[in-house]
Structure 1
């Protein structure tokens, strides 16, 4: 099969996840285009060199501009902090490179629209990293909705709960700085919930929200990553300029109602990413911590056995079941990235845009900013007005 040379910008949490997915593809999907891990890029030369060796990249560089200009690179994978997304994506698009970019797509709605425009103008393929769409149980929920087995959809409620910032002495990592991250729990966790709502239910019409920053000053870090940091002098602090928690209500274009909660202060929750959907004929519940399972309820079950049932969604619920393990053997978080890249590689081969792409990233950014505007103005905001 044809090969695709990958250049990746970023080497920490998402860099490791993406690298693992690229390495798994030839083994489990041998009939697809083969990704070649050509070069990885990061600002810290020593650290990116170590990552290249650990993850299996052929080369490393600290200059992303050199990387995107190379003739032997076909696709640029962007998983650097959010403030770097636009500049790298626009330059890569102009250089004719296909684009994979982590969420949220950009720091602002306008930046995300600029990225989409650049990609469309260059005619490259583009994809955004909403990997949870590719969990088996989510794919089963999507199928039940599309086939009408849940009937008319009335409610979508979703929550993404973490607790890694509860300690007030945790240093000021970049995810707590608005100029780098764009927003806090809202853009980091809430973006996944918004995209899931768009994927499963449809467009969000209007929103009203509230948010809070519980710890407003934190120790300055000596060294920082996205989800980790080491403290220098604890007496030296800096302001937290993003939200610690954001909640909002939504109305969908199809009349359904939604509620969303994203927080990093839910003690006892390491990564509770869940949704519940209620329809006229049934309901489903998904919990990422049990990602191979879907709780399913149908109103036409006999009354004496009505209730939520546990469905193991490993086979034949999703499109990629056959390449992994025998029926009943679960898969993990890392497989959602592999499935996302399968979609991307198939789209390149078939000369179509993958899904989700930058259009979905822009739609998500539009809702994120509508909620932020609602928080400031304390009123309902029409998403289409942005």
Structure 2
């Protein structure tokens, strides 16, 4: 049985621990930054070792696999130490906070010969797998274009934390676009040919509030009096909205597939968030920002809801939570691969590194053409 050490105690850390247990591995330890929090999580999940010293945990637990589940800015040093220790590494998105450090950890893993997994794992959503099958079977003809549209209407007064800081791995590109790019490439093919885009930083600052340890509970800490003169504020330096265009090379299409990614982190939705795949002979519409469904097929001039095939749902873990089910499916692939079993391909640090380099390019935001003086 493979031994796993988890780094991170929040929603992702606890989710990774459950995923690896469901994958048949032994979770031998968990590490966090706050002693009382990591001890509580370890007790709740019956994990034998807990601590705040990552180096010591590697020595004492001697894991085969480490699972990196902290915000992206804390990944680099932990990954480096784990690779030096000879561990295989499962890492949540983003891989790191910058393309430069992503290249560094990718090359280190490659040199050491350890296996890696990159968990932009909503590519395993059931209706995404359904769309992949339909498109491969020719249901929409040759894929021509894709649109991924989402509006999250996040509260502008969410307490200041890692999601507001670029050096901590924050921003919507790191924590939303990564999933969507993974979804699109899982369906069409992994060849990302070209990309351009813009970002908008429309949350200039956020209130500072103590006590937020779990990302999913941060709304509960929004100050009741946002105009309190005693309230401390800190500047944000990441994007909360983005528009990205990409061209994807696909073995299913004779020319590059055009993709639009449009996300408004702070803007309200009017119609449903959705993912649509258009083709020369039809289209597929999937409701939900990550494609949770239902799925509709446009054929013969009308949209028809298309039920999920039973074999697809049966091929995935029987878990209701989309995030947890996706982590668990990837963890099973990773553990099986490390154990010498033949598995389907999954994303690795190579993909995570490529994504981070792409995010850096989008954030440069330097592809605009000035047309204000064309007639002068």
* Runs of 5+ consecutive residues of structure 2 not aligned to the other structure: 250-254, 371-376
Residue 308 (structure 2) aligned to one of 304, 313, 327: 313
- Alpha-carbon shift at residue 156 of structure 1 (Å): 1.1
1:350 aligned counterpart, secondary structure:
coil
- Alpha-carbon shift at residue 356 of structure 1 (Å): 1.1
Would you say 1:53 and 2:43 are equivalent positions?
A: yes
Map of 1:294 onto structure 2 = 295
How many Å separate the matches in 2 of 1:179 and 1:131?
A: 23
Quickly say closer, same or farther: Cα 1:109–1:351, change in 2 above 3 A: farther
How many Å separate the matches in 1 of 2:258 and 2:359?
A: 17
Contact 1:292 1:314 in 2 (8 A): no
Map of 1:365 onto structure 2 = 356
CA deviations over 1:136-157 (Å, ceiling 9, x no partner) = 1111212223333332111111
Contact 2:193 2:246 in 1 (8 A): yes
Quickly say closer, same or farther: Cα 1:195–1:8, change in 2 above 3 A: same
How many Å separate the matches in 1 of 2:68 and 2:318?
A: 27
- Alpha-carbon shift at residue 165 of structure 1 (Å): 2.8
Would you say 1:159 and 2:159 are equivalent positions?
A: no
Quickly say closer, same or farther: Cα 1:314–1:51, change in 2 above 3 A: farther
Q: CA RMSD in A?
A: 2.6
CA deviations over 1:71-90 (Å, ceiling 9, x no partner) = 63110000111111121112
1:316 aligned counterpart, secondary structure:
helix
2:210 aligned counterpart, secondary structure:
strand
Map of 2:276 onto structure 1 = 276
* Runs of 5+ consecutive residues of structure 1 not aligned to the other structure: 26-33, 381-386
Map of 2:239 onto structure 1 = 243
Consecutive aligned runs of 4 or more in structure 1 exceeding 4 Å deviation = 231-234, 351-354
Of 342-351 and 240-249, deviating more is 342-351
Contact 2:248 2:257 in 1 (8 A): yes
2:339 aligned counterpart, secondary structure:
helix
Map of 2:15 onto structure 1 = 17
Map of 1:31 onto structure 2 = none
How many Å separate the matches in 1 of 2:96 and 2:184?
A: 19
Contact 1:78 1:101 in 2 (8 A): yes
CA deviations over 1:337-384 (Å, ceiling 9, x no partner) = 2111111122112367951111111222222122112x245269xxxx
Contact 2:153 2:269 in 1 (8 A): yes
Contact 1:125 1:352 in 2 (8 A): no
Contact 2:4 2:66 in 1 (8 A): yes
CA deviations over 1:260-297 (Å, ceiling 9, x no partner) = 1223213259xx76311101122212234772532222
Would you say 1:224 and 2:207 are equivalent positions?
A: no
1:308 aligned counterpart, secondary structure:
strand
Contact 1:292 1:313 in 2 (8 A): no
How many Å separate the matches in 1 of 2:60 and 2:140?
A: 50
Map of 1:384 onto structure 2 = none
Contact 1:160 1:189 in 2 (8 A): no
Quickly say closer, same or farther: Cα 1:76–1:319, change in 2 above 3 A: same
- TM-score, normalised relative to structure 2: 0.85
Quickly say closer, same or farther: Cα 1:280–1:165, change in 2 above 3 A: same
Map of 1:194 onto structure 2 = 181
Of 140-149 and 98-107, deviating more is 140-149
Contact 2:126 2:313 in 1 (8 A): yes
How many Å separate the matches in 2 of 1:180 and 1:174?
A: 5
How many Å separate the matches in 1 of 2:264 and 2:100?
A: 25
Would you say 1:215 and 2:203 are equivalent positions?
A: yes
Contact 2:28 2:61 in 1 (8 A): no
Map of 2:257 onto structure 1 = 256
Quickly say closer, same or farther: Cα 1:236–1:17, change in 2 above 3 A: same
- Alpha-carbon shift at residue 206 of structure 1 (Å): 2.4
Matches within 5 A, 1:103-114: 103-114=93-104
Contact 1:165 1:264 in 2 (8 A): no
- Alpha-carbon shift at residue 173 of structure 1 (Å): 1.9
Quickly say closer, same or farther: Cα 1:256–1:235, change in 2 above 3 A: same
Instruction: Count residues with an aligned counterpart.
Output: 353
Residue 326 (structure 2) aligned to one of 329, 336, 350: 336
Quickly say closer, same or farther: Cα 1:324–1:212, change in 2 above 3 A: closer
